[in-house]
Amino acid sequence: MREICTSASVERKALRTALAGCLCLLMLLALSIAAEGQKKPEQFSATGFGQAGMFAGKTVSMNIYITDYSDNQEVEDLAATLRTKGSDPLLKAIQKMKAKARVVPTGYTGWNVAVVRQRPTKNGRRIVMFGDRPIGFYEARNAPRSKGYEFGMLVLDVNEKGEGSGLLYGACKIKFTKDDQVDIEHFSQQPIRLTTVKLWK
């Protein structure tokens, strides 16, 4: 995946590093082979650490519930929608999909996630969750710049026991560039770092 340098190159590079191993699987699956065997519901717990901006230094506990994984055809259709029609039709398509996961921070109602993929890694597996993000009242009413970042992504890297770490990208833009590369822009300076990820059996 080609890196597009901007004034926010540090956070862009960090995001694209994660994308290199997972979003190509997620959004360009015509050329990928992802793990399909995990079908039973799963529950993970994690602690999120804010690294920059208004969330810097703050922590939050959360539970992540996965009920199903997206199949190849479903994600290929989403990639085709993004490529031929753009991010707005992609958002509408995702909003019509049945939820396959839910992220619930302690003290909040949480949000549904429509696209969930996984692939094997050397030490276990990588789980990628992608979908529309919740838009609060202030954003909906005042339409600040962040409102244009309508997608969110969560990445978990876990071992065979389901333990590991991850990253939560709370607000993203996504598009295909003119040379057919996926370009992802993250609104915040840095993602929320997820630690003590644990699979509850």
pLDDT reading at 175 higher than 60: yes
Name which residue leads in pLDDT, 109 or 102. Answer: 102
Mean pLDDT of the chain: 75
Considering Cα of 154, then 156, then 162, then 163, what sign does the dihedral take? negative
pLDDT reading at 83 higher than 90: no
pLDDT score recorded for residue 71: 87
Could you tell me which residues are beta bridge partners of residue 116? 129
pLDDT band at 93 (very low <50, low <70, confident <90, very high): very high
pLDDT score recorded for residue 153: 87
pLDDT reading at 173 higher than 50: yes
* CA quadruple 64, 196, 51, 88: dihedral, nearest 10: -20
* Placement of tokens 């960090």 in the chain: 14
Cα Rg, the chain, nearest whole Å: 16
Cβ distance 80 to 28 under 8 Å?
Answer: no
pLDDT score recorded for residue 73: 87
- Which residues neighbour 96 within 8 Å (Cβ) at sequence distance 6 or greater? none
- Which residues neighbour 36 within 8 Å (Cβ) at sequence distance 6 or greater? 69, 71
Can you state the angle between helices 72-85 and 87-95, rounded to 10 degrees?
150
The pTM of this model reads 0.76
User: pLDDT (tens digit, 9 = 90+) per residue, 5-39?
Assistant: 333 443 444 444 344 434 444 543 333 344 444 56
pLDDT band at 144 (very low <50, low <70, confident <90, very high): low
pLDDT score recorded for residue 86: 81
pLDDT reading at 159 higher than 70: yes
pLDDT score recorded for residue 112: 93
* Helix runs in 96-190, H state only: 137-142
pLDDT band at 135 (very low <50, low <70, confident <90, very high): low
pLDDT reading at 181 higher than 60: yes
The C-alpha atoms of residue 181 and residue 187 are separated, in whole angstroms, by 19
- Please, what's the largest Cα pairwise distance for the chain? 46
* Percentage with pLDDT > 70 across the chain: 62
The C-alpha atoms of residue 67 and residue 161 are separated, in whole angstroms, by 18
User: pLDDT (tens digit, 9 = 90+) per residue, 53-76?
Assistant: 556 668 889 999 999 998 888 888
CA angle 187, 192, 198 (to 5 degrees): 145
